[in-house]
Amino acid sequence: MDALVQAMLNSDRRALARLLTAVENKREGADTALAALFPRTGRAWIIGVTGAPGTGKSSLVNALAKTFRAAGKTVGIVAVDPTSPFSGGAIMGDRIRMRDLAGDRGVFIRSMATRGSLGGLARATRDVIRVLDAAGFEIIFVETVGAGQSEVDIARAAQTTIVVEAPGLGDDVQAIKAGILEIADVLVVNKADRPGADNTARALKAMLEMGHPTARADLIAHHGRLLPVENLAGPTDAPLWIPPVVSTIAPENSGIGDLVSALEAHRRYLIETQALDGLERQHIEIELHDRLQAELMARLLKAVSGEVFADVIHRIQTRELAPQSAVDMILSLHNQSC
Ligand SMILES: Nc1nc2c(ncn2[C@@H]2O[C@H](COP(=O)(O)OP(=O)(O)OP(=O)(O)O)[C@@H](O)[C@H]2O)c(=O)[nH]1
Ligand SMILES: [Mg+2]
């Protein structure tokens, strides 16, 4: 694994691909490799791209990557598909959509599909992003499909999040799922060549005017909290970021310049208001919480046998044991075995 890390740091693309596979699958030695690489991370600009299936996320990433490459930036792309266990189709599609990037050594594309739990996917995505960051890619796009909690969780690894909408997904406002708007730093109405695009843009702008989240603190509301919220937020007198709405036609490169300007403005905003530090602290807190939760649960399941669980479930069903008493009992069993 050491040799692989060294080769990867010497820009060996095959070593990078192999290291990513090892990290994604949590192979032996992967955690040590990640720990060795960790001091080299934190330099990349991570841009999340999320939205309903087929809205044009990959086409947009392709167009954005080409623009950033023309400006001399190196680009990593992570395409995550939590919805399908066999995302071969989507991955093939991405390969076609992004084929103009093939052969460019300044670009590295990685597709990931669900393996095991969604929590596991979020963990794997963070680790894959870190390896690309350590490898020196300056901008990393993370594309996630859909609009559920899992996509929101994955999008939280990003510093700037693009939410992509397209006309014709049914009722304009209905198409904008609750929760997805709150994570948007930049809103894109792609497929602006299609009828109804102006309505979608107007509906989005109206929704933004109606209610804009005043703080990012709500982002961690469903997670446990290790730190008081005041410690997480940036300076309270910082100006608010109002997400701009940008219309694009990705395959024609139309609107991409405006989108890049919007992204860069958000980046500047994060730096100038010192929100970047606060955001990173939030991300670390969420990650630490997630990792502890997964690790504690894994240890518990290792220490307490399946028979004990079966017995406890039976005793709950026969009303012999209340669910919370069962939890206390299992935890005390676990503590004894530690
Ligand atoms: N007319 C039109 N078609 C577009 C535009 N952008 C993308 N498409 C087409 O829409 C389809 C889906 O584009 P993708 O970029 O794969 O969309 P996606 O959001 O990445 O899709 P998934 O990853 O499967 O969710 C493709 O056939 C694209 O060529 C656009 O601006 N206008
Ligand atoms: Mg895609």
Token code pair at residue 337: 């075995």
Q: Indicate the pLDDT class of residue 318, thresholds 50, 70 and 90.
A: very high
Q: Is the pLDDT of residue 89 over 50?
A: no
Residue given tokens 């050491």 in the structure block: 2
Q: Is the pLDDT of residue 287 over 60?
A: yes
- Residue 120: its pLDDT value, please? 76
Find the mean pLDDT for residues 109-128: 79
**Domain 41-275 annotated CATH 3.30.1380.10:** no
Report how far Cα 224 is from the mean position of its chain's Cα atoms. 19
- Residue 67: its pLDDT value, please? 97
Higher pLDDT pick, 168 / 43: 43
Token code pair at residue 261: 């300007």
Q: Is 97 in the pocket of ligand 1 (CB under 6 A)?
A: yes
Rounded to whole angstroms, how far apart are CA atoms 177 and 146?
10
Q: Is the pLDDT of residue 99 over 60?
A: yes
The Cα-based distances of 33 to 23, 47, 280, 292 in angstroms read: 8, 24, 22, 20
Q: How far is the CA of 53 from the centre of ligand 1 (A)?
A: 9
Give the residue among 240, 241, 285 at the shortest CA–CA distance from 263: 241
Rounded to whole angstroms, how far apart are CA atoms 241 and 266?
8
Token code pair at residue 221: 């509301």
Pairing of strands 139-145, 160-165: unpaired
Q: Is 136 in the pocket of ligand 1 (CB under 6 A)?
A: no
Report how far Cα 15 is from the mean position of its chain's Cα atoms. 24
Give the residue among 269, 144, 250, 145 at the shortest CA–CA distance from 189: 250
Q: Indicate the pLDDT class of residue 204, thresholds 50, 70 and 90.
A: confident
Q: Is 29 in the pocket of ligand 1 (CB under 6 A)?
A: no
Contact 139, 45 (CB under 8 A): yes
Residue given tokens 């139309």 in the structure block: 254
Ligand nearest the Cα of residue 54 is 1
Domain boundaries, the chain: 1-36, 41-275, 304-337
Find the mean pLDDT for residues 227-249: 70
Rounded to whole angstroms, how far apart are CA atoms 7 and 41?
17
Q: Is 55 in the pocket of ligand 1 (CB under 6 A)?
A: yes
The number of C-alpha atoms within 13 Å of 46 and in the hemisphere containing its C-beta is: 27
- Which own/partner contact pairs does 201-206 have at CB distance under 8 Å and 24+ positions apart? 201/245, 201/247, 203/172, 203/173, 203/176, 204/165, 204/176, 204/245, 205/245
Q: How far is the CA of 77 from the centre of ligand 2 (A)?
A: 11
Mean pLDDT of all residues in the chain? 83
Q: Is 58 in the pocket of ligand 1 (CB under 6 A)?
A: yes
Q: Indicate the pLDDT class of residue 186, thresholds 50, 70 and 90.
A: very high
Q: Is 144 in the pocket of ligand 1 (CB under 6 A)?
A: no
Residue given tokens 């994060």 in the structure block: 270
> For 139-162, how does the pLDDT look when each residue is reduced to its tens digit (9 = 90+)?
999 998 765 666 667 767 899 999
Q: How far is the CA of 143 from the centre of ligand 2 (A)?
A: 7
Ligand 1 atom 4, closest CA:
191
Ligand 1 atom 9, closest CA:
56
Give the residue among 311, 68, 98 at the shortest CA–CA distance from 333: 311
Give the residue among 163, 85, 80, 67 at the shortest CA–CA distance from 128: 80
Share of the chain above pLDDT 70, in %: 78
User: Whole-prediction pTM value?
Assistant: 0.86
Cα dihedral sign for 120, 121, 122, 127?
Answer: positive
